[in-house]
A and B are shown apart, each in its own frame.
Chain A
Amino acid sequence: MSEAVLHDDHHDHKPYGIGRWLFSTNHKDIGTMYLVFALIMFFVGGAMSMVIRAELFQPGIQYVDPQFYNSMVTVHALVMIFGALMPAGVGLANWMIPMMIGAPDMALPRMNNMSFWILPFAFTLLLSTFFMQGGAPAGGWTMYPPLVLQLGDGFPYLVFAVHFLGISSIMGAINIIATVFNMRAPGMSFMRLPLFVWAWIITAFLLIAAMPVLAGGVTMLLTDKYFGTAFFDAAGGGDPVMFQHIFWFFGHPEVYILVLPSFGVISQIIPTFSRKPLFGYTSMVYATASIAFLSFFVWAHHMFTVGMPLTGELFFMYATMSIAVPTGVKIFNWMATMWKGSMTFETPMLFAIGLLFMFSIGGFSGLMMGITPVDFQYHDTYFIVAHFHYVIVPGIIFGIIGGIYFWLPKWTGNMYDEKLGKLHFWLSTVSVNVLFFPMHFIGLAGMPRRIPDYSVQFADWNTIISLGGFVFGLSQLILVWVVIKCVRGGEKATDQVWEGAHGLEWTLPSPPPFHTFTTPPEVTDATAHS
């Protein structure tokens, strides 16, 4: 260890002013920036969903042109996935992984800075398309050709934004892998890692495998539009369906890239508030790895209706159904962790339990859609919209929010307002079900997705759905208030924060000093992970 690092450690002096953030190489500051960026994007994407729900509040076109509606649907998804969910996951990883494995920082701090600062530029490119000739992307976040090629001047901006986001994600993933593989404290073997860290290693490998495929796909779109190639143009010997294969070869692993960090978070929360070690640690690691591995063999279930050979449809049906097994193992392990524990229900635990229930609902509808012949009916209806929103909102987002409540006292040194946290949970949980559950009904009854107006039979449910949506959207402002309040003050948090908390991060002061573990701790406890 160099003298300079020791010097910094002793005085704990932080760079100040804007430079602290612009040139930061500190994992905690970069983690904070990721989380703040994700929160802003969550509200940008959320505002777009409010436009969608306002337009669908009643039949007829009231507020926006159908083309702009399509842009809302498209950019809502891109902003939420690439701007809110993924950066939030990376933010949690940045903050927690070095502290959990006993490392002083991320292995590649300058790259860490770059991978964050690419994001604001990428989203400036993407969102600037709203002011361009031809408008913002309106062909769906899946960017299927030939439709996406009809986009006007915004098209290259979309492609380059996706490239930038991919580069940022890959750098973040490399950093996490390098950190965990090289910087674990003595005694912190792989099978002693907290499950959050395991979830992130697996996610990082998924990112490295999947993102280049997307980058390749959108580059082919770019050359199809501007350089006379015909990868996806049947008239030139290409195949528009090939793009869908490429996209979903990225897109399905992407689903797990989003969800695994949340699974990791609740694998920390549930043992803490059950005051009991995580059940089946080893099988959790293997189940997570199996889900990730299988995720590369199920992509075509997103496109059963393109007309594949029977053998192809059967293969992807069986492969998709098989994912239910490791996913079930994880759910059962969490249940067994709670079983005969001594549970308390602080806000993080409430969000974790909410995830268990509602992610399961999303899992059930997912299993239904894995059955190919029935998917021919479900595909591209509100049933799928209900499915993936159940998985993403009360699944992934509840996991991330749970993690924020869980670690906020550690980050700030202050306890958050528990009453407001519980209010946030209950309002979110009730409204999210009012918002998404009836979508199953209208989807089964025949309402297609991505339409700005609908047949009047769907009007009653759509009104209820929109009301649920408005309440859910407003409820998220409570989170902002809780965070601001907690940063500004509150009851002082202890180092351990939660009675049942185990792990290196809870041995540090709350808030932790700017540099931590400059001298690696010694890990001797075999169950350090829980």
Chain B
Amino acid sequence: MSVDKLKQIALGTIAVSLLFMSGTVLADYMNVLNLTEGVTPTSKMVYDLHMIILYIVTAIGVVVFSVMCWSIYHHRKSKGAVAEQFHHSTTAEITWTVIPIIILVIMAIPATKALVFMEQTGDAEMTLKVTGLQWKWKYDYLDEDISFISSLSQDSNDARQMGSGIDPNTVENYLMDVDNYVVLPIKTKIRILTTAADVIHGWWVPDLGWKRDAIPGFINDNWTYIEEPGVYRGNCAELCGRDHGFMPIVVKAVPKAEYAVWVEEQKAMQLAAAAGADKEWTKEELLEKGKAVYAANCVACHMAEGQGIEGLFPALNGSAIVNGPAAEMVMLILNGKNMMPAFKDILSDTDIGAAITHERNSWGNTVKDVVQPSDVKAMR
């Protein structure tokens, strides 16, 4: 095959792909091309900086590639070019050292300004603590005593299982939706602390303009100031194990008044949940609640039928611990073991009691007893 023929084929392919991509199809692709401008002063600053640098490197690329192409076209033997034998020019060497240095300094100035701005975490009006867990997020509103877990929404979770038979296109916000949104007030300087309970995670909402690692044993501080109400979605950015791709983040920014109402609702709900630990539950109530707790917190590792994953996560179905003394099981869940996180700061007494009751009564497990939330509370 001759080179000319190859060139024809290459050009033909490009032409056909362009035709194929035109019109509505092209619009789909064009939506997924560039960084978001976002909704915070930081994100806008970052976007502007990104565009400036993109233009600079594109311009450099156009100049450099044009020179190369010109040379490749004109200085070829087939066009009768005779090689000159020069191999040194101090002037040229100095020029192409100094010009890049100047360009770099020009780029460094706005970059330094943006970085200094982003690191000013003081003067925050409220503080949100974000804790990464395998594979969900825990949010603590430190000024309000509100705390909850946020994990992948049920419909996404169903659709993402292998062989689920559910078309991801039919799921709204596939893999980008959670059960509990992080509600934040707009036009408020919010300090966001990131940390983790097990492995390193990365908390990232592109519309806020940054991501930051959540590291076990350490707390990173960041801030944001959201200007417009809306729902902003993001993901865990740091590989954190099997379900790293399935722990999205959803921030719902609302006006301050609406935020105040939400805070009151949350406080009432948390009080009700705390009260649950002191009341006597029926087995049916615990089983029903336990099933939901299991689906939200346990199923990712121990799987739907309690079968676990061979070599990674132990099975609960038929497990000696699940069929052994209840007290040991409570202690294990409260304090964790190996990869199993300590759930004492993650789940309420009610949730733990319900989950244990569910596990001891499900699949092939034989104990079939009841663990009351008050029992769990007593063992903390």
Contact = CB atoms under 8 A, between A and B. Distances in A.
Same complex for A and B? Answer yes
A521 interface: no
B84 to A, nearest CB: 5
Interface stretch (B54-62, B281-289, B290-298, B349-357): B54-62
A235 B77 CA distance: 68
Interface stretch (A8-16, A181-189, A335-343): A335-343
B39 interface: no
A307 B220 contact: yes
Contacts of A444: 33-35
Contacts of A233: 217
Contact of B84 (A146, A340, A446, A448): A340
A235 B339 CA distance: 15
A430 B336 CA distance: 52
A331 B64 contact: yes
B13 interface: yes
A144 interface: yes
Contact of A60 (B36, B101, B111, B167): B167
B160 A453 contact: yes
B364 interface: no
B50 A377 contact: yes
Given A329-B97, A338-B72, A442 B32 contact: yes
A332 B284 CA distance: 76
Given A147-B200, A373-B114, A278 B87 contact: yes
A328 B98 CA distance: 11
Given A376-B210, A450-B239, A324 B245 contact: no
Contacts of B3: 422
Given A306-B213, A377-B50, A457-B31, A144 B200 contact: yes
Given A317-B111, A335-B68, A380-B237, A364 B57 contact: yes
Interface residues on chain B, size class:
35 or more
A67 B312 contact: yes
A460 B216 contact: no
A527 B86 CA distance: 12
Contacts of A337: 87
Nearest to B45: A373
B169 A441 contact: no
Nearest to A356: B68
A140 B176 CA distance: 23
Interface string A140-157: 100010110010100000
Interface residues of A, number: 108
Interface in B92-148: 92-93, 96-97, 100-101, 104, 107-108, 111-112, 114-116, 118-119
B299 interface: no
A139 B239 contact: yes
Interface stretch (B201-209, B252-260, B316-324): B201-209
Nearest to A73: B239
B46 A340 contact: no
Contacts of B72: 338, 343, 353
Contact of A340 (B25, B83, B166, B235): B83
B53 A374 contact: yes
A344 B312 contact: no
B271 interface: no
Contacts of B243: 66
A279 B88 contact: yes
B84, B97, B111, B246 interface centre (most CB from chain A within 10 Å): B111
A395 to B, nearest CB: 15
Interface string B196-227: 00111010101001111101111011000000
A321 B104 contact: yes
B349 to A, nearest CB: 24
A322, A345, A377, A452 interface centre (most CB from chain B within 10 Å): A377
B272 interface: no
A458 interface: yes
Interface in A59-87: 59-62, 65-67, 70
Interface stretch (A198-206, A269-277, A406-414, A490-498): A269-277
A240 B217 contact: yes
A430 B10 CA distance: 8
Nearest to B174: A456
B367 interface: no
A482 to B, nearest CB: 14
B255 to A, nearest CB: 26
Nearest to B210: A376
Contact of A423 (B6, B13, B28): B6
Nearest to A146: B199
Contact of B82 (A150, A240, A342, A448): A342
Given A60-B168, A147-B239, A458-B32, A451 B10 contact: no
Contacts of B75: 274, 338-343
Contact of B53 (A278, A331, A371, A380): A371
Contacts of A313: 115, 119
A239 B96 CA distance: 43
Nearest to B98: A325
A275 B160 contact: no
Contacts of B64: 331, 335, 360
Nearest to B76: A343
A516 interface: no
B217 A276 contact: no
Given A283-B93, A324-B104, A305 B202 contact: yes
Contacts of A305: 202, 211-213, 237-238
A524 interface: no
B77 A275 contact: yes
A360 B69 CA distance: 14
Contacts of B100: 324-325, 328
B160 A445 contact: no
Contacts of A94: none
Given A454-B175, A455-B175, A460-B28, A377 B46 contact: yes
Contacts of B368: none
B164 A133 contact: no
B88 A280 contact: yes
Interface string A361-382: 1001101100111101101110
A233 B34 CA distance: 38
A325 to B, nearest CB: 5
Contacts of A343: 71-72, 75-77, 81
B316 to A, nearest CB: 18
A332 B114 contact: no
A335 B89 CA distance: 13
B93 A70 contact: no
A147 B97 contact: no
Given A341-B75, A455-B174, A377 B35 contact: yes
Nearest to B29: A460
A449 B245 CA distance: 9
Contact of A240 (B60, B96, B216): B216
Interface of A: 59-62, 65-67, 70, 132-135, 138-140, 144, 146-147, 150, 152, 233-235, 239-241, 274-283, 305-307, 310, 313-314, 317-318, 321-322, 324-325, 328-329, 331-332, 335-345, 353, 356-357, 360-361, 364-365, 367-368, 371-374, 376-377, 379-381, 419, 422-423, 426, 430, 441-442, 444-446, 448-461, 500, 527, 530
Given A139-B239, A453-B246, 7 more contacts: A146-B216, A307-B221, A332-B92, A336-B92, A376-B209, A450-B244, A453-B245
28 contacts: A59-B168, A60-B160, A67-B241, A70-B239, A134-B312, A146-B216, A239-B217, A274-B83, A280-B92, A305-B212, A307-B213, A317-B112, A324-B104, A325-B97, A331-B64, A335-B64, A338-B75, A357-B65, A368-B50, A368-B54, A376-B46, A379-B237, A380-B202, A422-B3, A423-B6, A445-B31, A448-B235, A500-B83
The 3 A-B residue pairs whose C-beta atoms are closest, nearest first, are: A234-B217, A451-B245, A307-B220
